[in-house]
Amino acid sequence: MRHTVAAIQMISSPSVPDNIATADRLVRQAAAGGAQLVLLPEYWAIMGINDADKVAVAEPLGQGPIQDFMAGLAKELGIWLIGGTLPLASSDPLKVVNTTLVYNPQGESAGRYDKIHLFGFSQGTESYNESKTIVPGKNLGVLDAPFGKVGMSVCYDLRFPELFRAMGPVSLIVLPAAFTYTTGQAHWEILLRARAIENQCYVLAAAQGGMHPNGRRTWGHSMLIDPWGTVKSVLAEGEGVVTGEIDPAFMEGVRQSLPALKHRTM
């Protein structure tokens, strides 16, 4: 049986209420289009003027307006909602955990993944260092969904194929991201298609996509890729919804005709 999934693309601002309103509108649009699983982008709830802005709105696990919104919306719409990333409070008052939370159609917490690999980049006047305000995660994130196992990853994780191998065979990899325009233009689609091809599964990527109030420009190009590496749907820039189908029979056909996963020796 095929299942419809959707990725939400946003241009998040420093205002949590404004971002919640945008996410609400776009997730409802996705659900109205038949999506049973909806993925929000990384930093969907806040893209601050400064890196430390997210620390000020960090929520303890299980409570807060961001988590309440996601749980309530998942229940109301009867969907699986994967909440991109939001800032969760950590043991360090100056840092957060960049966390993906999953809610099932009953609005219950169904999974969690804390971003493991923290982005660092410097080229000319463009510089990023997530480790200044984020505590890295340590554990894999895999959950059971109606159409099979889902492996969770976030943005910079995309560059580390060993993370995806460690998940074991999955039907879908989800990747919320806020790729910079520079690195996205060079590597985004290539890496996403590689992860789909080598793991013979679907990849759903939800990105930030545009010019943000803080002056940062993100690459966008949210997309769904099938197990053969074909881009099934994509949105280049701006707010919107990318929708497509997960077809377990097609995935199984790819794995049978080219049984690379069975041929692994290490």
Active site residue 201: no
What are the tens digits of pLDDT across the range 197-229?
Answer: 999 999 999 999 999 999 999 999 999 999 999
79-83, 101-105, 127-131, 190-194, range with the lowest pLDDT: 127-131
CA pair distance 82, 41, nearest whole angstrom: 9
- 158 φ/ψ angles, rounded to the nearest 5 degrees: -55, -25
Please tell me the CATH code under which domain 3-263 is placed: 3.60.110.10
Task: Report the pLDDT averaged over residues 8-31.
Answer: 98
What are the tens digits of pLDDT across the range 78-96?
Answer: 999 999 999 999 999 999 9
Q: To the nearest 5 percent, what fractions of the chain are helix, strand and coil?
A: 30, 30, 40
pLDDT for res 126? 61
* Residue 33, helix vs strand vs coil: coil
Task: Report the pLDDT averaged over residues 130-152.
Answer: 94
Beta-sheet strands, E only, within the chain? 3-9, 37-39, 80-82, 86-89, 96-103, 109-114, 120-123, 126-129, 141-145, 148-152, 172-177, 202-207, 222-225, 231-235, 240-246
What string of DSSP letters covers 82-121? Answer: E---EEEE-SSTT-EEEEEEEE-TTS-EEEEEE--SPPEE
Dihedral sign for Cα 208, 149, 157, 224, please. negative
pLDDT for res 51? 87
CA pair distance 188, 183, nearest whole angstrom: 7
Task: Report the pLDDT averaged over residues 93-115.
Answer: 97
- 222 φ/ψ angles, rounded to the nearest 5 degrees: -60, 140
pLDDT for res 121? 67
- With a cut of 80, say whether residue 146 has pLDDT above it: yes
Q: Which of 54, 95, 155, 201 is catalytic?
A: 155
pTM of this structure: 0.96
Q: Which of 59, 95, 115, 237 is catalytic?
A: 115
Active site residue 115: yes
Active site residue 75: no
48-52, 135-139, 165-169, range with the lowest pLDDT: 48-52
Where along the chain do its domains lie? 3-263
pLDDT for res 131? 86
CA pair distance 40, 206, nearest whole angstrom: 6
Is 150:143 a contact under the CB 8 Å cutoff? yes
- With a cut of 90, say whether residue 158 has pLDDT above it: yes
